[in-house]
Amino acid sequence: MEKFKKIILSENEMPKQWYNIMADMPNKPLPPLHPATKQPVGPEDLAAVFPMELIKQEVSAERYIDIPDEVLDLYMKFRPSPLFRATSLEKALGTKSKIYYKYEGGNYSGSHKANTAIAQAYYNKQEGVRRITTETGAGQWGSAMSFACNHFGLELLVFMVKVSYNQKPGRKLLMNTYNAKVVPSPSTLTSAGRKILEMDPDSPGSLGIAISEAMEIAAQDPYTKYSLGSVLNHVILHQTIVGQEAMIQIEKAGDYPDVVIGCFGGGSNFSGIGFPFLREKLQHGKNVRLVAVEPSSCPKLTKGKFTYDFGDTAGMTPLLPMYTLGHNFMPDKIHAGGLRYHGAGVLVSQLLKDGFIEAKAKMQRECFEGAVLFARTEGILPAPESSYAIAGALDEARKADLEGVSKTILFNLSGHGHFDISAYEKYFENNLPDHELTAAEVENAISKIEVPV
Amino acid sequence: MEKFKKIILSENEMPKQWYNIMADMPNKPLPPLHPATKQPVGPEDLAAVFPMELIKQEVSAERYIDIPDEVLDLYMKFRPSPLFRATSLEKALGTKSKIYYKYEGGNYSGSHKANTAIAQAYYNKQEGVRRITTETGAGQWGSAMSFACNHFGLELLVFMVKVSYNQKPGRKLLMNTYNAKVVPSPSTLTSAGRKILEMDPDSPGSLGIAISEAMEIAAQDPYTKYSLGSVLNHVILHQTIVGQEAMIQIEKAGDYPDVVIGCFGGGSNFSGIGFPFLREKLQHGKNVRLVAVEPSSCPKLTKGKFTYDFGDTAGMTPLLPMYTLGHNFMPDKIHAGGLRYHGAGVLVSQLLKDGFIEAKAKMQRECFEGAVLFARTEGILPAPESSYAIAGALDEARKADLEGVSKTILFNLSGHGHFDISAYEKYFENNLPDHELTAAEVENAISKIEVPV
């Protein structure tokens, strides 16, 4: 085992269930509330936009949920994904620590998003849905959903955040290749989009706005449903395949992580790799830290407020109890489009509040610096989002070296950056602005959160 | 085994030697000739541009050559590569045949080129070389070499064929990220480039021209060597890791191919997957067909002449006995930049002449049609080059179905198309010209070959 670079699992070794952390949380999250009645939403309130099986998963307290055969079948086109030991990166750092990364960029979509896209498309198809609407930031989620919908014979309409639509034209073309229709958001197709454009015709868009647009279209037609790429419990559930595999792999390597790191947008890739390890901590007291890394310009975990807020800008979603910068918060145009989201998923928010996970914020230039070091040592060009996880891992290794100890560090390399190469160009041109949200900016953002309960 | 999607090998199962088909060829190829003396070139003639170990491999008759530990070590970042069963594609075709593909796009460079890049960079480093020059078409080879050179501490200067430089800006940026310098070819840096630009300031460039430029620079400095991404025997040798793995994998699946297919530029990806199977045919009479698929607009295998010709446009290489359209042939600006080469490697040429392999030519629109079908079914977006192998595989499946038989088809999906997405845009816009070289065009091209021996 001395010289191994990666741990590969066979298809037989792939976990056949998703893990639901709800079952093991000491404090269950507060319920989502109906914006009008302020009462907990029931399944029927969500049925207009989601298929019933996903609604059941959203509220389930079952510890394990079987992955359907059709989903397993499609997973096996790219799963289990490899776990790498970052030996070249370790050498470049001169660290005493061991750095592992789970690589989720090796599939058709180039990111972990395929794990939930396939599941969501499958359940929708099962329930007779004909068309799906969704949002996408950098386009990883939209790409993942495009192939999945096409596979199951569903139409897909993607609202792509305008700044990313312009930054990453290749992602739109990839979605088109998989038969999806893509429009830049805010758009004139919806009243939510038109309203934003009236206020700011040059709005760069945000995930919050794109969600509003996609939900608005879905609510108009019984055969159209809406699909979300992160934040929600069922999305996080589907991503736990990542951490379950990683645990088998790192144990095969004769190791166990001291710290597990993910970048943080809505929470699904962080939770996907982290929650199975947190399970071991909650159930058996096994020692492990979970660290979420978010952009300094969109710091909901580190500077946001824990309160009920909408998941989208127009206020169409239920009210969710979460760390948020306010559903009207407009994030900077950073290249990590998938991290430009105002709130954190409910499960992560509760766990952060209860001290079971940690969060930190990083500037984009430092993250790209880490991404370039990673590319030059490990080879793979990281997605801008994943660069935040890399920066988090480098922090941990350096800290351990300063303390004279050796740690075992695991992070999720959630995607590759082949469609984000213009961001690297900007980095090399020294043309990536850094912005840490000031106390006044945070105060201002939070003051605008209407807390309707 | 019923439902498997792919066969994965562990690092322990990775072959530790390359296979040299020279040992098993009934008719050995004619020797390369010195252009001035018309005598067979000796190692000393090549020493100005290649390190001695690669020259030895170029002329070796040993059946197996050990892969150095340092090369194995880097291979293990991405090898063994997966072998997939294309179940979704088979279903879409309704074929009775089984289609397998070896996927070489899962590594940092996005193609099979990493297999030889790492080896070449290693041997150069061992012999004290400080800088490498090379050509690249679509940029797969340049990307592969950039990381490999950076890893071993070598500088790299890449001459990128101008049409591809403009079509695929992301590839240049990727090479820059790996610390390489990239210039569009023809350039004003070399007399070869300047000569072409004098004749045609708008020359789109070609691999032949870019090779001349890279060799010219290398010949000027004892610490600078030249590196080639295909054509030569040692390059093909390094690629045989692909076919050796594929054989283990397909046998694990309880199968064996009736036909092995690769796209064809200079021959390295085709030979890489095919030669280990051809070994079984040559040594043990095991029945297998090898089919090389080239562009109809650059048909050296199907319409070229078998003769001595230069490997580059300026006539700096030794004279090689090969199928060629003439070293001055200017291929169409097809998006499969890696296939825009006037000649075929010596080993492949001899084997084609002797009837051990087959060749066919395809139009680019039909290849993109196959690539889109492949993307929508199997998920992975193919490189334009690889689309020719897909088209070849689809031909074989359809032919077998017409004949009412079931065949086992294996092809090399040599790379992904993430940096080639603009080519797909052109395809969807119905803006991809098709051109089959006419008899008169072939006649004209071949008439210009000076046969100096």
pLDDT digits (tens, 9 = 90+) for B382-429: 999 999 999 999 999 999 999 999 999 999 999 999 999 999 999 999
Task: Give the whole-angstrom CA distance, residue B425 versus residue A176.
Answer: 9
Least confident stretch, B258-267, B332-341, B375-384: B332-341
Query: B378 and A77: CB-CB below 8 Å?
Result: yes
Peptide bond into A80 cis (omega under 30): yes
Cβ(A449)–Cβ(A326) below 8 Å: yes
Cβ(A259)–Cβ(A399) below 8 Å: no
Question: Considering chain B, what is the average pLDDT of its residues?
Answer: 96
Structure confidence at residue B22 as a pLDDT band (50, 70, 90): very high
Cβ density class B280-316: b for 16+ within 10 Å, e for less: eebeeeeebbbbbbbbbbbbbbbbbbbbbbbbbbbbb
Least Cα distance to A372 among A392, A387, A360 occurs for A387
Task: Give the whole-angstrom CA distance, residue B36 versus residue B22.
Answer: 26
Task: Give the whole-angstrom CA distance, residue B294 versus residue B389.
Answer: 9
Query: B3 and A419: CB-CB below 8 Å?
Result: no
DSSP three-state, residue A292: strand
Q: A174 at the B interface (CB within 8 A)?
A: yes
List the beta bridge partners of residue B84: B6, B101
Query: Looking at beta carbons, which residues of chain B come within 8 Å of A8?
Result: 8-11
Q: B173 at the A interface (CB within 8 A)?
A: yes
Rg of chain A over CA atoms, in angstroms? 20
Cα–Cα distances in Å, from B220 out to A366, B48, B120, B160, B165?
Answer: 40, 9, 20, 20, 25
Structure confidence at residue B167 as a pLDDT band (50, 70, 90): confident
State whether the Cα torsion B435-B436-B437-B439 is positive or negative: negative
Out of A11, A108, A176, whose CB is closest to B380?
A108
Place of tokens 């955040």: A161
Instruction: Name the pairing type of β-strands A155-161 and A131-136.
Output: parallel
Cβ(B381)–Cβ(B418) below 8 Å: yes
Least Cα distance to B112 among B75, B153, B137 occurs for B75
Cβ(B323)–Cβ(B343) below 8 Å: yes
Q: Which residues in chain A (361-400) have CB-CB distances under 8 A to chain B?
A: 372, 375-381
Q: State what percent of residues in chain B have pLDDT above 90.
A: 94
Q: Which residues of chain A have pLDDT under 70?
A: 1-3, 451-453
Q: Which two tokens stand for residue B366?
A: 């039909």
Query: B4 and A174: CB-CB below 8 Å?
Result: no
Task: Give the whole-angstrom CA distance, residue A284 versus residue A258.
Answer: 15
Query: A376 and B147: CB-CB below 8 Å?
Result: yes
Out of A9, A174, A421, whose CB is closest to B170?
A421
Out of B5, B77, B416, whose CB is closest to A76?
B5
Q: Identify the closest residue of chain A to B378 by CA–CA distance.
A: A77
Least Cα distance to B8 among A346, A245, A111 occurs for A245
By CB atoms closer than 10 A (0-12, 13-18, 19+), residue A17 is middle
Q: Which two tokens stand for residue A354?
A: 């209860």
Task: Give the whole-angstrom CA distance, residue B233 versus residue B245.
Answer: 19
What pTM was estimated for this model as a whole?
A: 0.96
The domains of chain A, with CATH numbers, are 7-13+68-110+233-447 (3.40.50.1100)
DSSP three-state, residue A420: coil
Residue A152 C-alpha, separation from nearest chain B C-alpha, in angstroms = 10
Best A2, A147, A151 member to test B by mutation, with max B CBs in 10 Å, is A147
pLDDT number for residue A3? 67
DSSP three-state, residue B288: coil
CA angle B82–B88–B92, rounded 5-degree value:
145
Residue B250 C-alpha, separation from nearest chain A C-alpha, in angstroms = 15
Residue A209 phi, psi dihedral angles, 5° rounding: -70, -45
Task: Check residue B10 and give left, alpha or beta (phi > 0: left; psi -120 to 50: alpha).
Answer: beta
Task: Give the whole-angstrom CA distance, residue A394 versus residue A376.
Answer: 15
Out of B173, B178, B372, whose CB is closest to A177?
B372
Mean pLDDT for B263-283 is 98
Out of B150, B173, B381, whose CB is closest to A421?
B173
Place of tokens 């001055």: B328
Task: Give the whole-angstrom CA distance, residue B91 versus residue A379.
Answer: 35
Q: How many CB atoms lie within 10 A of CB B56?
A: 15
Q: Identify the closest residue of chain A to B382 by CA–CA distance.
A: A108
pLDDT number for residue B1? 39
SS3 content of chain B, % helix, strand, coil (to 5): 45, 20, 40
pLDDT number for residue B35? 87
Task: Check residue B267 and give left, alpha or beta (phi > 0: left; psi -120 to 50: alpha).
Answer: left
pLDDT number for residue A76? 95
Cα–Cα distances in Å, from A126 out to A4, A50, A66, A122, B137?
Answer: 42, 12, 16, 6, 46
What is the edge-to-edge ordering of all strands in the sheet holding A155-161?
A: A181-185, A155-161, A131-136, A224-227
Spell out the residues 6+ positions from residue A185 whose beta carbon is closer than 8 angstroms to its own.
Answer: A135, A159, A160, A161, A162, A165, A193, A205, A209, A210, A213
- A189 secondary structure, DSSP code: S
Residue B316 C-alpha, separation from nearest chain A C-alpha, in angstroms = 33
Q: How many CB atoms lie within 10 A of CB B87?
A: 18
Distance from the first to the final alpha carbon of chain A: 56
Maximum Cα interatomic distance, chain B, rounded to a whole number of Å: 62
pLDDT number for residue A4? 79
Q: Identify the closest residue of chain B to A418 by CA–CA distance.
A: B418
Cβ density class B391-404: b for 16+ within 10 Å, e for less: bbbbbbbeebbeee
Task: Give the whole-angstrom CA distance, residue B305 versus residue A177.
Answer: 38
Q: Which H or E element spans position B449?
A: none
pLDDT number for residue B450? 76
pLDDT number for residue A453? 62
Q: Give residue B233's identity as a one-letter amino acid code.
A: N
pLDDT number for residue B4? 79
- A343 secondary structure, DSSP code: B
Q: A100 at the B interface (CB within 8 A)?
A: no
Query: A77 and B11: CB-CB below 8 Å?
Result: no
Out of B110, B178, B425, whose CB is closest to A375?
B178
Residue B94 C-alpha, separation from nearest chain A C-alpha, in angstroms = 16
pLDDT number for residue A1? 39
The count of C-alpha atoms lying within 13 angstroms of the C-alpha of B2, restricted to the half-sphere facing its C-beta, is: 0
Task: Give the whole-angstrom CA distance, residue B250 versus residue B100.
Answer: 8
Q: Which two tokens stand for residue B100?
A: 């397998």
Q: Give residue A123's identity as a one-letter amino acid code.
A: Y
Q: A147 at the B interface (CB within 8 A)?
A: yes
- B383 secondary structure, DSSP code: -
Residue B7 C-alpha, separation from nearest chain A C-alpha, in angstroms = 8
Q: A127 at the B interface (CB within 8 A)?
A: no
By CB atoms closer than 10 A (0-12, 13-18, 19+), residue A440 is exposed
Least Cα distance to A430 among A333, A348, A365 occurs for A365
